[in-house]
Amino acid sequence: MQPVRGVLLDIDGTLVESNDAHAHAWVKALAESGKAVAFETVRPLIGMGGDKLLPKVCGLDAESPEGKRISDRRAAIFLSEYLPKLRACRGAEALLHQLKERGLKLAVASSATKDELGPLLKVCGADRVIEAATSSDDADRSKPDPDIVHAALGEIELPPDAVVLLGDTPYDVEAARKAGVRVIALRCGGWNDTDLKADAVFDDPADLTRHLDQSPLAS
């Protein structure tokens, strides 16, 4: 196994406390279209893209006219009502600087749309340290399919065994596994260790920073 030379970063729930906000935005957009879907139904699906989420919660194809309307409305609600209130996960910016100081290439691999991703990167300071950012717009299929991970690997020109993905959901872990990438998961996204099944699990970015030399990032 190669030494770690790069880190692929999920953003929502990993570096920014945004998972609940995404779920609320979906619930509002669906309700405006006459579809009553509970927050508790949507919340466990945050981390996969709308192409996966919409069929699961209401049977709609995300590429259908109605599916596109709901997705667009969700994005508008998220950007206007929730994004301005978001904050970084504990220790996110310090972790990013630690990784950068170790000479690691940093690339974002997020299921967020490109319009959402830019502002989210600023919330946690990632915009100042990353080499590349890939979003759902760069992939045919969202997580847990590995397309976004493959796209990020291509951007930083590293093989899968030289990279670790940092995420917060089982969808991050599954996408990484399918791409042959090791994965560290953080509990701050709302999942427990049993569900995550990552190579290593830490509470949040601050916890990972304290234990970097005992994590897969030490290799």
CB 168 within 8 A of CB 191: yes
pTM score of the predicted model: 0.96
CB 178 within 8 A of CB 146: yes
- For 19-84, give the CATH class: mainly alpha
Q: What end-to-end distance do the CA atoms of the chain give, in Å?
A: 9
Is the pLDDT score of 189 beyond 80?
yes
Is the pLDDT score of 117 beyond 90?
yes
- pLDDT of 61 reads 96
- pLDDT of 209 reads 98
CB 8 within 8 A of CB 153: yes
Give the separation between CA 156 and CA 96, rounded to whole angstroms: 16
- pLDDT of 219 reads 63
Is the pLDDT score of 119 beyond 70?
yes
pLDDT over 90 percentage in the chain: 96
| Long-range contacts of 94-100, Cβ-Cβ distance < 8 Å, separation of 24 or more | 94/205, 94/206, 94/209, 95/15, 95/205, 95/206, 95/208, 95/209, 96/9, 96/15, 96/124, 96/125, 96/126, 96/129, 97/129, 98/209, 98/212, 99/7, 99/129, 99/217, 100/129
Give the separation between CA 82 and CA 149, rounded to whole angstroms: 26
- pLDDT of 199 reads 98
Count of other CB atoms within 10 angstroms of residue 127: 15
- pLDDT of 100 reads 98
Indicate the angle between helix axes 50-58 and 19-32, nearest 10 degrees: 50
Backbone angles phi, psi at 3, to 5 degrees: -60, 150
Nearest to 132 by CA among 144, 146, 149: 149
Nearest to 168 by CA among 145, 151, 193, 149: 193
pLDDT tens per residue, range 9-60: 999 999 999 999 999 999 999 999 999 999 999 999 999 989 999 999 999 9
- pLDDT of 87 reads 98
Q: Quick one: average pLDDT of 168-183?
A: 98
Fold of 6-18+87-218: Rossmann fold (3.40.50)
Per 3-state DSSP, the chain is made up of helix, strand and coil in percentages (nearest 5) of: 55, 15, 30
Q: Where in the chain is the domain with CATH 3.40.50.1000?
A: 6-18+87-218
Q: Quick one: average pLDDT of 113-119?
A: 94
pLDDT tens per residue, range 142-160: 999 999 999 999 999 999 9
